[in-house]
């Protein structure tokens, strides 16, 4: 029994150490990223089809063939990566506007950053859950935690991404309507 608890503590400690190293690497990488301007964002955003994503992660729709299951997983992983990428870009935009002289712009920037955190967190959990499902080969018999993560993605990630879209639109209220429409289409 003591060997088992020792192994559990070692795994947890190693996991925490890896998490801290990951956070440090991300922080160093983020410091080297160039500042992004509002006009540059639209061309860098990747479109996300939320309807296709919702269908791909829907637990009620069981895929008939293994090929169809792989296709659904591929769609879900691609959408998660795109959402995370877009949230990262919009967060960088928010960080650039955070200390603006205009209090409204600074407030909107903070809201955009916060919305991006939610999207990136849910996307990260979704990527981990789908990767575990793919690596373990349990595409027909999902793990309980993977199923919970899929429910969380459908109930949390899609509204969080919609909120991120809304915050990005609010950030562009001082810009022209054509730009706002282009941003909305790009998201």
Task: Give per-residue pLDDT as tens, 74-114.
Answer: 898 999 999 999 999 888 888 888 888 888 888 888 999 99
For residues 139 and 168, state if they share a domain.
Answer: yes
- Domain of residue 161, CATH code: 1.20.120
Q: How many CA atoms lie within 13 A of 20 on its CB side?
A: 6
For residues 58 and 93, state if they share a domain.
Answer: yes
- Domain assignment present for residue 1? The answer is yes
**Stretch 131-152: mean pLDDT, rounded?**
62
Task: Please tell me the predicted confidence (pLDDT) of residue 93.
Answer: 85
For residues 23 and 94, state if they share a domain.
Answer: no
For residues 75 and 105, state if they share a domain.
Answer: yes
User: Is 165 or 64 the better-scoring residue by pLDDT?
Assistant: 165
For residues 155 and 85, state if they share a domain.
Answer: yes
For residues 17 and 108, state if they share a domain.
Answer: no
Q: Residue 15 — pLDDT band, cuts 50, 70, 90?
A: confident
Q: Which residue range(s) make up the domain with 29? A: 1-34
- In the chain, the N- to C-terminal Cα span, in Å, equals 52
Per-residue b or e along 81-112, where b marks 16 or more CB atoms closer than 10 Å to that residue's CB? ebbbbbbbbbbbbbbebeeeeeeebeebbebb
- Domain assignment present for residue 145? The answer is yes
For residues 22 and 58, state if they share a domain.
Answer: no
Asked if 77 contacts 127 with a C-beta cutoff of 8 angstroms, the reply is yes
The encoded tokens of residue 26 equal 């991300």
Q: How many domains does the chain have?
A: 2
């Amino acid at each position: 029994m003591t060997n088992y608890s020792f192994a559990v503590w070692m795994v947890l400690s190693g996991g925490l150490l890896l998490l801290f190293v990951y956070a440090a690497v991300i922080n160093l990488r983020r410091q080297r990223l160039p500042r992004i301007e509002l006009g540059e964002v639209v061309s860098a955003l990747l479109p996300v089809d939320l309807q296709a994503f919702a269908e791909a992660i829907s637990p009620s729709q069981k895929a008939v063939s293994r090929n169809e299951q792989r296709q659904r997983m591929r769609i879900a992983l691609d959408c998660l990566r795109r959402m995370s990428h877009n949230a990262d870009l919009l967060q960088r935009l928010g960080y650039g506007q955070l200390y603006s002289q205009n209090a409204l712009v600074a407030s909107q920037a903070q809201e955009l950053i916060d919305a991006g955190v939610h999207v990136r967190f849910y996307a990260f959990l979704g990527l981990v859950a789908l990767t575990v499902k793919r690596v373990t080969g349990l595409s027909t018999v999902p793990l309980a935690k993977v199923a919970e993560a899929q429910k969380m993605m459908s109930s949390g990630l899609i509204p969080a991404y919609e909120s991120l879209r809304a915050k990005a639109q609010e950030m562009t209220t001082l810009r022209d309507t054509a730009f706002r429409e282009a941003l909305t289409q790009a998201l």
